[in-house]
C-alpha cells in the first residue's frame, strides 16, 4: 500500500479566506412588544373616587439566529399622562415596585427602567415585564404607551401600544350622594406602607 502526500503551498497574498466578522458571528437582534391587559381601560368620573387599574406587558425578543453576548439589556417605559404606577396594592396585584418580571431588575415610577445581563438565545424571548397602573379620572379616550429596548452594543428598538379608555358608568362613590337602590361592595387592601385602603364599587 502506498500513501501519497500532497502539499499545497500558497504564496502570500494569492488566496484570501474571509473570516466571519464579530457582527456576523453575533447576529442577535432585540425587539420589544407592548400590550395591555384588557381591550378597554376604565376610568372613574368625578366625583367618583373608585380606583380603576390595568396591566401593561412588555416582552423583549431576540429575532436573530444567534444568542446575545450577555451584555446589559435595558428596557425603558415612560408612562403616558393618565396612567400612574400602582405599588403595594395587593388587591390589584401590585407589588413593591412598579414594574417587575423574572430576572429583571426594575426601578422608577413614572419613567420605568428594567435591566438584565444574561444571554438570550436566538428566536426566543425574555420573561415578560408587567406594570400595574392606575387610570386617572382625567385620562384621555386614547392613550399611547411607548417602550424601548437597548442592547449592549447600543442598538435600539421600540414599540407603541394604543389603549382605549372609557368612563365607568358607576354614578357615585362613597363621597357622593347614593341613589336609592344602589348596591355596593367594599374592597380593603392592607399592606406595610398602606395599612388600610378601602374602595367602594358600584354593582351594576
Whether residue 85 is contained in a domain is answered as yes
Per-residue model confidence (pLDDT) at position 113: 98
Whether residue 20 is contained in a domain is answered as no
Long-range contacts of 159-164 (CB under 8 A, 24+ apart): 159/31, 159/32, 159/33, 159/34, 160/34, 161/34, 161/35, 161/36, 161/56, 163/36, 163/41, 163/54, 164/39, 164/40, 164/41
Per-residue model confidence (pLDDT) at position 202: 52
Whether residue 9 is contained in a domain is answered as no
Percent of the chain, pLDDT > 90?
A: 63
Per-residue model confidence (pLDDT) at position 93: 87
Give the three-class secondary structure for 140.
coil
Mean pLDDT over 85-110 rounds to: 94
Higher pLDDT, 46 or 140: 140
> Around Cβ 168, how many Cβ atoms within 10 Å?
18
Whether residue 36 is contained in a domain is answered as yes
Task: Provide the CATH number for the domain around residue 121.
Answer: 2.60.40.1510
Q: Give me the phi and psi of 92, to 5 degrees please.
A: -105, 10
Per-residue model confidence (pLDDT) at position 24: 38
Q: Give me the phi and psi of 22, to 5 degrees please.
A: -60, -40
Mean pLDDT over 62-78 rounds to: 96
- Separation between Cα atoms, residue 65 and residue 157, nearest integer Å: 17
pLDDT tens profile 104-159: 999 999 999 999 999 999 999 999 999 999 999 999 999 999 999 999 999 999 99
Angle at 40 between CA 191 and CA 30, to 5 degrees: 80
| Strand duo 156-167 + 40-43: pairing | parallel
| Residue found under cell 500532497 | 6
- Separation between Cα atoms, residue 79 and residue 136, nearest integer Å: 12
Whether residue 180 is contained in a domain is answered as no
- Separation between Cα atoms, residue 49 and residue 168, nearest integer Å: 11
Most distant pair of Cα atoms in the chain: their distance = 109
Whether residue 72 is contained in a domain is answered as yes
Per-residue model confidence (pLDDT) at position 188: 44
Mean pLDDT over 17-29 rounds to: 55
Omega of the bond leading into 47 within 30 degrees of 0 (cis) = yes
Whether residue 92 is contained in a domain is answered as yes
Q: Which domain holds residue 36?
A: 26-166
pTM of structure: 0.73
- Most confident residue range from 14-28, 86-100, 132-146: 132-146
Per-residue model confidence (pLDDT) at position 10: 42
Q: In the 8-state DSSP scheme, what is residue 90?
A: G
Mean pLDDT over 5-9 rounds to: 43
Whether residue 16 is contained in a domain is answered as no
In the predicted structure, residue 71 carries a pLDDT above the cut 80: yes
pLDDT tens profile 164-198: 999 987 655 544 444 544 454 444 443 444 434 44
Per-residue model confidence (pLDDT) at position 9: 42
**Can you read off the three cell numbers belonging to residue 204?**
351594576
Q: Would you place residue 27 in the very low, low, confident or very high pLDDT band (cuts 50, 70, 90)?
A: confident
Mean pLDDT over 97-101 rounds to: 96
Q: In total, how many domains does the chain have?
A: 1
Mean pLDDT over 10-24 rounds to: 46
- Separation between Cα atoms, residue 78 and residue 115, nearest integer Å: 15
- Separation between Cα atoms, residue 145 and residue 111, nearest integer Å: 12
Amino acid at each position: 500500500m502506498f500513501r501519497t502526500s500532497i502539499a499545497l503551498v500558497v504564496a502570500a497574498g494569492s488566496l484570501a479566506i474571509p473570516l466571519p466578522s464579530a457582527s456576523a458571528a453575533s447576529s442577535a437582534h432585540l425587539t420589544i412588544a407592548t400590550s395591555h391587559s384588557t381591550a378597554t381601560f376604565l376610568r372613574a368620573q368625578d366625583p367618583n373616587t373608585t380606583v380603576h387599574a390595568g396591566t401593561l406587558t412588555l416582552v423583549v425578543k431576540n429575532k436573530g439566529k444567534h444568542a446575545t453576548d450577555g451584555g446589559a439589556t435595558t428596557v425603558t417605559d415612560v408612562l403616558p399622562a393618565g396612567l400612574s404606577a400602582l405599588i403595594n396594592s395587593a388587591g390589584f396585584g401590585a407589588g413593591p415596585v412598579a414594574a417587575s418580571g423574572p430576572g429583571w431588575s426594575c426601578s422608577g415610577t413614572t419613567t420605568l427602567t428594567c435591566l438584565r445581563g444574561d444571554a438570550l438565545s436566538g428566536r426566543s424571548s425574555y420573561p415578560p415585564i408587567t406594570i400595574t397602573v392606575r387610570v386617572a379620572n382625567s385620562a384621555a379616550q386614547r392613550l399611547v404607551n411607548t417602550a424601548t429596548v437597548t442592547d449592549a452594543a447600543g442598538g435600539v428598538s421600540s414599540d407603541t401600544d394604543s389603549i382605549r379608555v372609557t368612563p365607568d358608568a358607576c354614578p357615585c362613590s362613597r363621597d357622593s350622594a347614593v341613589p336609592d337602590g344602589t348596591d355596593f361592595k367594599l374592597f380593603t387592601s392592607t399592606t406595610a406602607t398602606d395599612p388600610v385602603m378601602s374602595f367602594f364599587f358600584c354593582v351594576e
